[in-house]
Amino acid sequence: MDEEARRAYWRRNLRLMTVLLTIWAIVAFGCGIFFADALNKIEVGGFPLGFWFAQQGTILVFLALIAVYVWRMDRLDKEFGIDTYEEEVQGS
């Protein structure tokens, strides 16, 4: 892989990480802290929704974002031909 392709790969990887971490921060701070009062008016399983987001929701969103990251990076690896390099290294 040439230097230009490496830079493009790294830029796309950083952009993906930035988007996913921004989503996580918005959910963690927005729903768990900033909008907690408004969300607490809604109950889920007998608990206020704001409390639920602070305790469970952010963890579930984070796990979902990890799955999205793995899926998108697999696609990015295939696009840049890194998946074939990994197979060659594992096969030797």
For residue 26, CA distances in Å to 29, 31, 41, 65, 84 come to 5, 7, 20, 13, 36
* Structural domain span for residue 50: 3-91
In the prediction, which pLDDT does 69 show? 97
**How many structural domains compose the chain?**
1
Question: What is the value of pTM for the model shown?
Answer: 0.74
Q: How many CB atoms lie within 10 A of CB 66?
A: 12
| pLDDT tens, position by position, 35-85 | 778 888 888 788 888 777 777 778 888 999 999 999 999 999 999 988 776
Give every CB contact of residue 72 below 8 A, 6+ residues apart in sequence. Answer: 16
